[in-house]
């Protein structure tokens, strides 16, 4: 029995050794990249909201329609607001300065009369005062002339204050009425919901006759020809991302094809729920046909190197050790890496043989 075991053991060891896979490093190019996924969005895409509450009276566009900035998309019922505007217009007309020239002319006339009377009573008073100095006339006449002059002066200043107050009041009323009219016009225009951009109507969420509020999304509008790629990048990779980096994009809608894009924007605020950052890129040459919310996968290229010494990543233990074919464990310095291979900067040559661990 012992002899049998001794015979079987070398055979078992020999067969285990024969199954060990050995590989040699290769010289090739390598590209290090960061994986990301996301959705295609139309450039300037936004949800359409009303700024007032109301009932949809009419929908003037259909999904897929091409529109211009300022085009009316939805019309809300505005009967009450139209009446408010008419009232504001009447008030503005009534308060207009041209409509109150009669009041101004009357105030000017009264002011002029008061001024003339003050001048006349002043002249009579000083004449009587001169006569009294020459001992002509009576003191009662002098006092009466002085009293008349003082009353006339008081009346003049009172008329001037009323005149100036009337001008200020009329100016204020005219300005306020014009402001109210402008507010009414703006509120009336809020019932006509317009497009902010030249683009296309991607969706309409409401129907004619429905009640809407400023919190209700009525539809989606976006650019018809320009698109952006919104990518979710993990927080561990975000510090590697820079504007201008090349992005290789694969779309589920275009199987077997890849497209090139460029990083254009990095949102610095992290999404706390999934621990990712929003990174935007734009196509260098976009597919001929695209729609918003198409999903994609992307690789953001960090570095590319030609003629690099490469081995499978599985061969590297703790990012710095490899096992040679003779069983020796050696330390290596690594460089770029992709999902399968890693660059060896030092510690190995192209002639070395490595033992590949079982996957």
Asked if residues 243 and 295 have their Cβ atoms less than 8 Å apart, the reply is: no
As a whole number of angstroms, the distance between CA 143 and CA 192 comes to: 74
Domain boundaries, the chain: 20-43+226-359, 46-70+194-221, 83-190
Joined together, the tokens standing for residue 64 give 């897929």
Report how far apart, in Å, the C-alpha atoms of 343 and of each of 179, 315, 349, 355 are: 71, 12, 12, 17
Residue 345: count of CB within 10 angstroms of its CB: 12
Q: Is the pTM value of this prediction over 0.75?
A: no
Domain 46-70+194-221 classification at class level: mainly beta
Query: Which stretches of the chain score pLDDT less than 50?
Result: 1-18
Residue 140: count of CB within 10 angstroms of its CB: 8
What does the pLDDT read at residue 49? 93
As a whole number of angstroms, the distance between CA 100 and CA 105 comes to: 9
H-type alpha helices, the chain: 2-18, 79-95, 101-133, 139-190
CATH superfamily of 20-43+226-359: Efflux pump adaptor protein, beta barrel domain (2.40.30.170)
Joined together, the tokens standing for residue 150 give 């003082």
């Amino acid at each position: 029995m012992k002899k049998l075991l001794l015979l079987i053991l070398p055979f078992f060891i020999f067969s285990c050794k024969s199954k060990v896979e050995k590989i040699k490093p290769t010289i090739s190019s390598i590209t290090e990249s960061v994986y990301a996924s996301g959705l295609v969005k139309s450039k300037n895409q936004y949800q359409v909201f009303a700024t007032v509450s109301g009932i949809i009276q009419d929908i003037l566009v259909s999904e897929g329609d091409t529109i211009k900035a300022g085009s009316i998309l939805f019309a809300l019922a505005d009967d009450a607001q139209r009446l408010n505007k008419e009232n504001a217009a009447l008030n503005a007309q009534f308060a207009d300065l041209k409509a109150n020239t009669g009041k101004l002319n009357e105030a000017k006339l009264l002011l002029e009369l008061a001024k003339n009377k003050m001048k006349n009573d002043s002249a009579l008073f000083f004449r009587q005062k001169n006569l009294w100095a020459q001992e002509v006339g009576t003191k009662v006449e002098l006092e009466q002339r002085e009293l008349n002059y003082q009353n006339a002066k008081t009346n003049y200043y009172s008329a001037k204050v009323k005149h100036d107050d009337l001008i200020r009041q009329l100016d204020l009323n005219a300005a306020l009425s014009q402001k109210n009219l402008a507010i009414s016009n703006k509120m009336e225009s809020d019932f006509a919901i317009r497009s902010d951009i030249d683009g296309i109507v991607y969706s309409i969420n409401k129907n004619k006759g429905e009640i809407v509020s400023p919190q209700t999304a009525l539809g989606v509008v976006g650019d018809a020809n320009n698109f952006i790629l919104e990518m979710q990048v993990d927080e561990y990779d975000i510090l590697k991302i820079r504007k201008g980096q090349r992005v290789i994009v694969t779309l589920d809608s275009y199987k077997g094809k890849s497209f090139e894009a460029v990083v254009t924007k990095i949102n610095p605020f992290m999404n706390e729920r999934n621990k990712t950052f929003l990174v935007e890129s734009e196509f260098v040459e976009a597919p001929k046909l695209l729609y918003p919310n198409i999903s994609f996968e992307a690789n953001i290229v960090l570095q590319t190197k030609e003629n690099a010494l490469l081995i499978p990543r599985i061969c590297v233990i703790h990012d710095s050790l490899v096992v040679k074919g003779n069983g020796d464990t050696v330390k290596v310095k690594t460089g770029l890496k992709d999902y399968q291979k890693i660059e060896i900067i030092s510690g190995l040559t192209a002639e070395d043989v490595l033992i590949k661990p079982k996957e």
